[in-house]
Amino acid sequence: MLNTPRVRRGYSRADQPGQAVRELANDLTQPDAALVIAFASSTYPRRALAAGLTAAFPDTCVVGCTTAGELTPLGYRRGTLTGVSLAAPEFQAVARRIDNLEEFSVADGVELVQDGLTSLSRRMPGMRTDQVFAMLLIDGLSACEERVVSGLYQALGEIPLFGGSAGDDLAFRETGVLYGGAFHSNAAVLLLVATQNPFEVFKTEHFVASDEKMVVTEADPTRRVVTEINAEPAALEYARVHGVQIDELTPMMFAAHPVVVKVGGVPYVRSIQKVNPDGSLTFYCAIDEGIVLTAATGVDITENLRDAFRRVQSRIGPAQLVIGCDCILRNLELAQNDILDDVSCLLADQRVIGFNTYGEQFGAMHVNQTFTGVAIGYGG
């Protein structure tokens, strides 16, 4: 059964935005819809797509983003439009847009979250904070994820946060988040969802830390550049730790051997983008001086993901929906290892809707090569 009461999933592979919206709306339209989240390939004309989605769901909160690939009811797809709708009274939602990401502050986060929660509590009287989760969709080329997620995390308190950085099908030119009938760059959307159903926000990564430690001794976090590791040129030291020559530091090498930062005993993956001419390393996340990085090696990605779903469902029961944010580097690794179809089937079986990202958010952290999401169970 594709859909359940109050939760509907769908997708379209139509090339034209008008037809794609009609097909998605046919899947998602339901009485009392409180929220529609749409994940769209960047190949669609954004203005036409946004206008179509707004017209198709005129009385519903509609948010979304452009992607580096879509997680549809049929698993991984490219060049498609997919999404989910959630209906009242089991679900209520509010969304708030964040502009000028480089100027976002903790004070802005407090004001935004308080305003959103006040509005949400009016829609679900008696709402408790343990009935609320937060999702962040953010411009994936802004390099502002750390600033925004840190400010929001402090304001959210015990409300769990996850999210993903919007993509543009690996063009790396412009990404957008959908809010108020338009796609926006240099912006983010904070979504607050209250539900009477059990849920769990979770993450998983298929890497285990080794005993090899590396201390960042010189870095520029704003540029996400690490200049020195263990007081040596960063690229040279990374290559030494992994027993390779510096000319072997390719994107696939970095994807197979990221580094891990542990915070409170929990591992968070930090991926390297490239070697720079001066021997420094550019990361996909901000790295501060003094941070201890641990070399990591990969384990079976399929079994790791399957185990993550099992653990979550042991706590909340069977999931009727998982909203997932899955790093594009994971997708590329799956394709490289010829197991993309296997994991695609797994995601479809687990009722995942979402997108391939340019980065992921979990709690107070911006991470890479990670699957983050929320699993939503059935009501009592």
In a domain, 24, yes or no: yes
In a domain, 2, yes or no: no
pLDDT value at residue 122? 96
Q: What 3-state class would DSSP assign to 317?
A: coil
Domain check: are 217 and 150 in the same one?
A: no
Percent of the chain at pLDDT > 70 equals 99
Domain check: are 26 and 97 in the same one?
A: yes
Domain check: are 12 and 54 in the same one?
A: yes
CB within 8 A of 61, min separation 6: which ones? 34, 35, 36, 93, 94, 95
Task: State pLDDT tens for residues 214-234.
Answer: 999 999 999 999 999 999 999
Q: What is the mean pLDDT of residues 194-202?
A: 97
Please tell me the total count of domains within the chain: 2
Instruction: Point out which residues pair with 356 in neighbouring strands.
Output: 326
Position 252 confidence tier, pLDDT thresholds 50, 70, 90: confident
Q: What is the mean pLDDT of residues 308-316?
A: 98
Q: What is the mean pLDDT of residues 260-266?
A: 87
Among candidate residues 259, 276, 298, the one where a domain is terminated: 298
pLDDT at 210 exceeding the cut of 90: no
Domain check: are 228 and 90 in the same one?
A: no
In a domain, 242, yes or no: yes
Domain check: are 229 and 357 in the same one?
A: no
In a domain, 1, yes or no: no
pLDDT value at residue 2? 56
Domain check: are 196 and 316 in the same one?
A: yes
Percent of the chain at pLDDT > 90 equals 92
Domain check: are 177 and 267 in the same one?
A: no
- Residue position matching structure tokens 């490239």: 274
Task: State pLDDT tens for residues 61-74.
Answer: 999 999 999 999 99
Domain that holds residue 212: 207-298
Domain check: are 344 and 291 in the same one?
A: no
Domain check: are 180 and 200 in the same one?
A: yes
Report the alpha-carbon distance of residue 151 to residue 263 in Å, rounded: 17
pLDDT at 283 exceeding the cut of 90: yes
pLDDT at 46 exceeding the cut of 60: yes
Q: What is the mean pLDDT of residues 105-112?
A: 96
Q: What is the mean pLDDT of the chain?
A: 95
Among candidate residues 280, 298, 316, the one where a domain is terminated: 298
Q: Token digits for 345? A: 């089937």
Domain check: are 158 and 243 in the same one?
A: no
Among candidate residues 298, 316, 344, the one where a domain is terminated: 298
pLDDT value at residue 1? 39
Q: What is the mean pLDDT of residues 300-321?
A: 97
Report the alpha-carbon distance of residue 345 to residue 184 in Å, rounded: 32
In a domain, 163, yes or no: yes
Higher-pLDDT residue of 292, 256: 292
pLDDT at 349 exceeding the cut of 60: yes
Domain check: are 186 and 331 in the same one?
A: yes
Q: What is the mean pLDDT of residues 155-179?
A: 97
Domain check: are 26 and 124 in the same one?
A: yes
pLDDT value at residue 321? 98
Answering whether pTM is above 0.85, one says yes
Task: State pLDDT tens for residues 56-104.
Answer: 999 999 999 999 999 999 999 999 999 999 999 999 999 999 999 999 9
Report the alpha-carbon distance of residue 145 to residue 138 in Å, rounded: 7
Q: What 3-state class would DSSP assign to 153?
A: helix
E strands of 196-236, at which residues? 199-204, 207-220, 225-229, 232-233
